[in-house]
Amino acid sequence: MSGGLLVAGTTSDAGKSVLTAGICRWLRRRGVRVAPFKAQNMSNNSAVVVGPDGRGGELGRAQAMQAAAAGLAPDLRFNPVLLKPGSDLASQVVLLGEAVDTVTAGNYHALRPRLAATAYAALAELRAEYDVVICEGAGSPAEINLRAGDYVNMGLARQADLPAIVVGDIDRGGVFASMFGTVALLDAADQALVAGFVINKFRGDLGLLRPGLDMLHRVTGRPTYGVLPWALDLWLDAEDSLAYGRVLGRPAAPRGTEWLDVAVVRLPRVSNATDVEALATEPGVRVRLTVEPAELAAADLVVLPGSKSTVADLAWLRETGLADAVLGHAAAGRPLLGICGGFQMLGRAIHDPVESRRGSVPGLGLLPVEVTFDRRKTVRRAEGTAAGDTDVPVDGYEIHHGRVSAADPGLPPLLRYADGTGEGARLGAVYGTHWHGAFESDAFRRRFLAEVAGVAGRTGFKVAPDTSFAAARERTLDLLGDLVEEHLDTGALWRLIESGPPAGLPFVPPGAPD
């Protein structure tokens, strides 16, 4: 059996995903054959993998990023269970890449054994194939109301005999209390697997923190394996929506004399909002996520991103006044882009007997298309070119139930598949596409931004000719590996991965409630 480790966290967005990726990159540099794993992910940010049978399947985008850190192509077994929330009460269940059911609090108990068995089998296969598997937990292992059915945190660690480390975000405050409390709310058998801690996002003098680390060691009997500093450049492929601030990334100064301002509407059920990260890598492009109608008026480009609940999010746009702001932006002739669910909202009508089951509802009417939701989900990789320019290659992927069921003849597409079939639409300064990830294609992104700047009157904006999104992502992964190597006790970490938790770890009362 291979070595392994569970990276648990005190909260969501504590740093589990990035630490897992950093450990994978560090181990890869050592020549270790390492794979990432997350038994169950709850996220609307997903990536597409094409399986051996040629069919597309979904896994959490964070696991695709971790696979890249490990030097691997994404594998559906890296995230066997993906829950995609469509509302506060229900989530679509994606099992080994395929949407199989909808889960609610009422039926989750009945479905859980199947999900757990699938996750355990996937991990066993990976451990038979790789030297090390680094597992990421979900939320917190101390969610005592969920422990009985847990197969993602300590339930997974118990089943697979994995040592665990707990990462906490010191920037949020209360990190010592949350780390102590995490251990103290576990039962004795779970506590025996928790070997120590990692502190994330530290800013300041480490000497001031040292007494706290020593006291934490005394009261828990467990060391802190390292303190990771705050790193401004870690923003690509954010797993959790909590990770999104108002401005994405660190916008570089423009190459010309003007900035290009992009406002992305932060929908309640936003899906794959990471699409706009590629725009944010360009010098002089400032990308803001917003729910303020007034902020759309000042933007050069407004983006409606993907949505897991297109009809519900369209209703929210109207309720908040954002729909009127979008319509006003388009009426002024300023550029507007819809991606996947956002594209569907731009049409004349949406016919949805599947996702929302609300039947036919009017769209924003900015593109002469109608969208009908099909029970069969489209999940596939896509490649082609920019429409009208076959010298501009574009790669992407599709994840959607909606399909264009009617469109005005002669409506020009935005993209073309490799077979020449048109995809998406454009009418004046309004653009729409079902393709996620299209702007990661450097030549297409530059062409699009240059056109948008011209339409918006930003004649002083110049597109950088040398920006590479793939290189930016690789720099992020290298930075994660560097942080692990420089700030963690990698010798102790390797012993933990290879040999398991140290014997004789003390019990921290009170333990799990009865």
**Cα–Cα dist 355/504, whole Å:** 52
Catalytic annotation present for 24: no
Long-range contacts, stretch 186-190, CB < 8 angstroms, 24+ apart: 186/141, 186/142, 186/154, 186/511, 186/512, 187/511, 187/512, 188/507, 188/511, 189/158, 190/141, 190/154, 190/157, 190/158, 190/512
How is 433-501 classified by DSSP, letter by letter?
A: ES-BSGGGSHHHHHHHHHHHHHHHT-TT----SS--HHHHHHHHHHHHHHHHHHHB-HHHHHHHHHH-S
How is 123-146 classified by DSSP, letter by letter?
A: HHHHHHHSSEEEEE--S-TT-TTT
Is residue 226 within 8 A of residue 487, CB to CB? The reply is yes
One of 24, 135, 329, 340 is an active-site residue; which one? 340
Nearest to 153 by CA among 23, 11, 45, 7: 7
Catalytic annotation present for 340: yes
Question: 488: alpha, beta or left, given left = phi > 0 and alpha = psi -120 to 50?
Answer: beta
Nearest to 262 by CA among 449, 111, 444: 449
Paired tokens of 346: 């731009």
Neighbours of 69 (CB within 10 A): 27
Residue 110, judged by CB atoms within 10 A of its CB (0-12, 13-18, 19+), counts as exposed
- The sign of the dihedral angle between the CA atoms of 461, 466, 472, 473 is positive
* β-sheet bridge partners, residue 427: 430
Paired tokens of 495: 């012993």
Helix axes 175-184, 206-220, angle to 10 degrees: 20
Is residue 271 within 8 A of residue 305, CB to CB? The reply is yes
- Residue corresponding to tokens 């333990």: 511
Annotated active-site positions, please?
340, 436
